[in-house]
Each structure stands twice: as C-alpha cells, then as structure tokens.
Amino acid sequence: MPKNKIQITVKKLVIANESGALTRFFALDRPIQMAWKNRKQLAACNEELQFYSDKLKELCEKYGTVSVSNPNAYVFDVDNKSVAPGTEGPQKKLFEIARAELEAQVVSTIPGDPVKVSETVGTLKVSDCEILEGTFLVD
C-alpha cells in the first residue's frame, strides 16, 4: 500500500475535475509499477469531490434558498429588502467566505506519488499540465 500522499487544495482538485484534466490524466498509460502504486487515486479523488459537493450544498442551504425558477440552484438575500437587485448582500458574502475557506483546505487523502511526465504515454492539454503540475504530475 502506498505510503506517500498527493497534496492538493480542494479548489485545485475541483478545477482539475471540472476542466477534464483529471479524466485525461487518469486515462494516460504509465508503467505498471506506477499504475499499480497509484491505483486508488481515482477513487480517492471521487470521494473528496463528493465530500466537497455535499459540503457546498450544506453552505448553500445555510446561506441561501432554493431558486423558484430552478430547483437545482440557490439564491441569496432574496428576501432582504435592503439589498439592491444585482448586488451582493450579507448572506451571499458569508457564503463566499465559507466557500473560500472550504476550497482552501488541503486534501491529503489521495494515495501514491506524482507521476513523472517521462513515465506517461498519451496526450494532455497544456492547461491540464498547468493544473496538475506539482501535484499529480512532476518533471
């Protein structure tokens, strides 16, 4: 079992996931020893991303209300008459602060080592390399 762990902020992990960089990274071929050592990374990433999603929903429920027009979206400060339409009210500000704190947390539960670029076969976008550099990918 790998003793090393990948260290990445929640925000960077979310960006890597939403951009597709993680999917492309995990699709790269690599030597069997490296692939075996890092085999649990995908599941760990998915677990962390689900945890983030759950916590983000809790923050939305705490500071906002479900949108009348879209049940999958939250709105903030809708009942606050002192907040002009199109401006950020106190609940939205509190939500943004809490979300920033959540996204600043360091994830240290992803097992394995960063992969050396020279040990991979396949293609990544330049933006993928920028996102994954120093965490999942190293020179």
What's at 83, amino acid-wise?
V
Q: Taking the CA of residue 66 as centre, how many other CA atoms within 13 Å lie in the half-sphere pointing to its CB?
A: 6
**Could you tell me the pLDDT band of residue 18, with boundaries at 50, 70 and 90?**
very high
- Beta-strand pair 106-111/74-75: unpaired
Measured CA to CA in angstroms, residue 135 lies from 22, 100, 116 at distances of: 11, 20, 11
Stretch 108-128: mean pLDDT = 92
Q: Does 124 have pLDDT greater than 50?
A: yes
Taking the domains of the chain in order of start, what are their residue ranges? 5-138
How far is Cα 135 from Cα 128, in angstroms, rounded to an integer? 12
**Could you tell me the pLDDT band of residue 81, with boundaries at 50, 70 and 90?**
low
Q: What is the tens place of the pLDDT at every residue in 34-60?
A: 999 999 999 999 999 999 999 999 999
How far is Cα 10 from Cα 51, in angstroms, rounded to an integer? 10
Q: Would you put residue 134 in left (φ > 0), alpha (ψ -120 to 50) or beta?
A: left
**Could you tell me the pLDDT band of residue 80, with boundaries at 50, 70 and 90?**
low
Helix (H/G/I), strand (E/B), else coil: 105: coil
Q: What is the DSSP string of 69-95?
A: S-TT-EE-STT-TTSPTTS--HHHHHH
